[in-house]
Structure 1
Amino acid sequence: MTNRKKDDARPKLLSGGNPQIPKAEGNGPVQDYIAAMPGWKRDVGQRLDDLIVRTVSDVRKAVKWNQPFYGKDEGWFLSFRCYTNYVQLQFLRGTSLDPMPPKPSKHDEVRYLDIHENDELDEHQIRSWIKQASKLPGEKM
């Protein structure tokens, strides 16, 4: 019975291993999301969170639609989520970044960077995108 209660306390993993975390504002829910990311994806989530915080000191955080969002003022500029074989970094105004992140979206301005288990992160490029994205008008959600 004790093990069952312990298991029930862990977030449910949705399709692709994406943690189901209740919608909430602040660092706490984002850290809960990262802690629930499965396997190697947790390290990627922590690295991304660290990069974002180091790049944008006054960043706002929230979990919405089972993924962490990062923003300034009233708008959001990026998020990430788990898929089966990668973690996807989403730039909400990615078509305004130079250079644009590599993966297009069905949404006009959104661009993605898919990070696979053995990828070497180009932290310099990711920081540049984060810095650029944080200076653009954010998406209201």
Structure 2
Amino acid sequence: MQIQKELVKLNQYFDNKEDAIRYCGNLLVEGGYVTADYVPAMIKRNEELSVYMGNFIAIPHGTDEAKRDVKKTGITIVQVPRGVSFGSADDTEKIATILFGIAGVGNEHLELIQKISIFCADVDNVVKLADATSVDEIVNLLEAVEA
């Protein structure tokens, strides 16, 4: 998993899940990974099927139709210490403290989701990401997955 330091953001705050997803998408746009049309597709994906994965993580990504808007595979990692709710008004349990915004060429997004899911299946790893105090610390934790 190739982590670009400029796509890792610490100590962010969002009023709602749409703002959080939009932020992840805009980072991908600014980095040249996707076109601006990918961002609304990320919000639509969450409306169709929640991008909340459990263990305090969410993996915002676009719909299948939005694959045409992906220029190159990329991933953003956004730390949200106070958390952001990915649940509904009835379901307040889905709080994400780490967001992984992804875009993949072809089926590369599936590989990214798999690697993230394996790493984050251990909630201690999520806590380490949430408690990290530097971009380098997050990069080192995630790049260790490759080793």
Larger Rg: 1
- Bigger share in helix: 2
Name the TM-score, length of structure 1 as normaliser.
0.33
Name the TM-score, length of structure 2 as normaliser.
0.32
Higher-RCO chain (CA-CA 8 Å, sequence separation at least 6): 2
- Bigger share in strand: 1
